[in-house]
């Protein structure tokens, strides 16, 4: 079986490693950019992805752990410092999650598959060979078209704006939730008064932040938009707006919020903006000759940090299933119900950022057994084909 992987993001990388050297399988990967050029900001990866790596790619599990800091606690405060929640992840998971820079995650996941990846290859079209296999048509860095031959299976690991999904199933139509999300990497976090994963609410506006390896910190924000279809207004992007958004009216900000607001105001021109959205789940196309993984299959809201986490689960488990002789239909049978549960739970967990939910009452509800049971299911319910 000849398999071609389009995109060596999170899912594509671990999927390729899972199949490298598998009897009867040849796997090749193509990436549209030089992996060393990736910068990005920061991310947290949930305990469930780390469990999937531990069960099926233990060497990668250890390498990713070595490149990251542990995500052990999840705290939620008001902007004045009032504590609402303090959760030890080991109360709902089998091991901690992690926090690290995107660039470091890519470097660690791509290292073992470097010899299988052809870089600077942009997918432009698809053709068929005489056997009915799909032939990707790629443009290389010199502008020449490359046809590497027919593949029994093409795998989309090329992210939320997947070219392979567009070519085989049309452009995914996202659902927008009327919220803008911000991301800022602070390379020098000297004086940062916190370490592990924390959230801070000022009304429905929410900050999320944690330290990263190498002395950096990642700050993410969330602000309501005028309506679900609105673009981000220009004044939202100013430092003054960022300061006013997260500063309490009737109290002084706690040290953590004061530190973050200062960085957001000072570096407003470096903040990356996006709108909270998700895309419909799609696992396959072209009569099973195309398999979608990660954000190419299931772009979801990031509230529980499950985007990259589910991509890791996807890549590891799809690779395991195909390596053992399973099919695209088997991957869908294992993954789709699991992904839909996590997607819906992630939307449910976003309630505290939207009216009419009260952020205090909504957060306190997340300390109760019903929410914690769903969180435990999210963090531990990893499919193990051997069991």
Q: Is 172:278 a contact under the CB 8 Å cutoff?
A: no
299-327: pLDDT as tens digits: 999 999 999 999 999 999 999 999 999 99
Burial class of 350 by CB neighbour count within 10 A (0 to 12, 13 to 18, 19+): buried
> Does residue 13 or residue 41 have the better pLDDT?
13
| pLDDT value at residue 39 | 55
Q: Which two tokens stand for residue 225?
A: 């938009």
- DSSP-derived secondary structure letter, 141: T
| pLDDT value at residue 31 | 95
pLDDT score of 37 more than 60: no
Q: Give the residues across from 153 on adjacent strands.
A: 3
Model confidence pTM above 0.75: yes
Mean pLDDT of the chain: 95
pLDDT score of 352 more than 60: yes
84-106: pLDDT as tens digits: 999 999 999 999 999 999 999 99
164-177: pLDDT as tens digits: 999 999 998 999 99
Domain edges within the chain: 2-69+98-173+278-351
Torsion of CA 298, 303, 304, 309, to 10 degrees: 40
- Beta-carbon neighbour count of residue 268 at 10 Å? 18
* First-last CA distance in the chain: 26
| pLDDT value at residue 34 | 54
The SS3 of residue 297 is helix
Torsion of CA 370, 374, 377, 380, to 10 degrees: -100
- DSSP-derived secondary structure letter, 6: E
Q: Which residues contact 362 (CB under 8 A, 6 or more apart)?
A: 351, 352
CATH number given to 2-69+98-173+278-351: 3.50.50.60
């Amino acid at each position: 079986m000849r398999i071609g992987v389009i995109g060596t993001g999170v899912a594509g990388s671990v999927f390729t490693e899972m199949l490298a050297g598998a009897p009867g399988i040849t796997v090749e990967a193509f990436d549209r950019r030089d992996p060393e050029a990736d910068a990005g900001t920061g991310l947290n990866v949930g305990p469930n992805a780390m469990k999937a790596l531990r069960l099926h790619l233990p060497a990668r599990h250890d390498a990713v752990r070595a490149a990251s800091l542990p995500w052990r606690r999840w705290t939620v405060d008001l902007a004045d410092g009032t504590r609402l929640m303090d959760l030890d992840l080991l109360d709902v998971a089998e091991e901690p999650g992690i926090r690290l820079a995107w660039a470091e995650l890519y470097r660690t996941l791509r290292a073992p598959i470097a010899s299988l990846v052809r870089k600077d290859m942009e997918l432009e079209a698809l053709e068929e060979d005489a056997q009915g296999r799909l032939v990707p048509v790629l443009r290389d860095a010199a502008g020449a078209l490359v046809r590497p031959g027919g593949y029994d299976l093409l795998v989309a690991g090329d992210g939320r704006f997947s070219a392979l999904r567009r070519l085989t199933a049309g452009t995914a139509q996202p659902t927008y939730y009327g919220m803008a999300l911000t991301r800022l990497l602070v390379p020098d976090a000297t004086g940062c008064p916190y370490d592990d994963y924390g959230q801070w609410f000022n009304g429905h506006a929410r900050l999320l932040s944690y330290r990263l390896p190498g002395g950096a910190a990642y700050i993410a924000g969330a602000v309501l938009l005028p309506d679900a279809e609105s673009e981000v207004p220009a004044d939202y992007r100013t430092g003054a707006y960022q300061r006013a958004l997260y500063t309490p009216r009737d109290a002084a900000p706690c040290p953590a919020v004061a530190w973050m607001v200062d960085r957001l105001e000072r570096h407003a021109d470096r903040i990356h903006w996006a709108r909270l959205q998700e895309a419909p789940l799609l696992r396959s196309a072209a009569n099973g000759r195309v398999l979608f993984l990660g954000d190419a299959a299931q772009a979801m809201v990031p509230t529980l940090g499950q985007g990259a986490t589910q991509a890791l689960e996807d890549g590891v488990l799809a690779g395991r299933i195909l390596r053992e002789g399973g099919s695209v239909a088997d991957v869908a049978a294992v993954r789709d119900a699991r992904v839909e549960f996590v997607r819906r739970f992630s939307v449910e967990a976003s309630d505290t950022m939207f009216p009419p939910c009260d952020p205090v009452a909504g957060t306190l509800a997340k300390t109760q057994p019903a929410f914690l049971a769903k969180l435990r299911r999210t963090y531990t319910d990893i499919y193990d084909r051997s069991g």
